[in-house]
Each structure stands twice: as C-alpha cells, then as structure tokens.
Amino acid sequence: MAHGHYVPLPDRTSRLRPSWLIGDNELAATGADYIALGHWNRPAKVGTVAAYYSGSPEYAGTVNVVQLCADGKVAVTRAPLEIAREPSAVDYT
C-alpha cells in the first residue's frame, strides 16, 4: 500500500515533493503481487505491475475487489457502491 502520485519516470528535481512521487522503479522494487495506491480520486491501473488506484468511493462510486489467484495472477474488478454521489453534491461542512 502506498499513497502518492504516480509518474512513470519521476523528475525528483521538480517542485513536487519527491515523497509524493511513485515511479515504475519503486513499484517494481516492492516485488508485491498487488499494490494498492491512494491519492487519485479516479480509479486507474498504473505502471507495468499490478498497481491500482481505487479512487475515492464517493467520487468513483466503486471500489476495487482484488483476488489473489493460485496461479500467481491478480484479478481486479470494480464493485459499485450505493453511497456514490457527485462531488458537487458532497457537503464538506
């Protein structure tokens, strides 16, 4: 599990804080079967390994359902949530 912004080849000299950046090298170095990422509101698969952002449940309206299979593969599907709302309808007060 990691929280940050995925960039395939991060520029560590940019104005973005280096700790926010997650690149392909970091993902591959984990050796993990599956990497759950957080920071993006929209769901996405990133990189060349099994690394996925689930997205914000309220924004995306879904969650990732992850199955680690006996053959070493990972199956990721999306499951809808009934609590999903448009971001403009969320009252943050």
Domain residue spans of the chain: 2-82
pLDDT at 91: 58
Distance CA 29, CA 92 (A): 38
- What pTM was computed for the model? 0.80
82 band by pLDDT with thresholds 50, 70 and 90: confident
Nearest to 76 by CA among 33, 25, 22, 24: 33
In the chain, where does DSSP find H-type helix? Answer: 24-29, 57-60
Distance CA 1, CA 54 (A): 11
Distance CA 50, CA 82 (A): 27
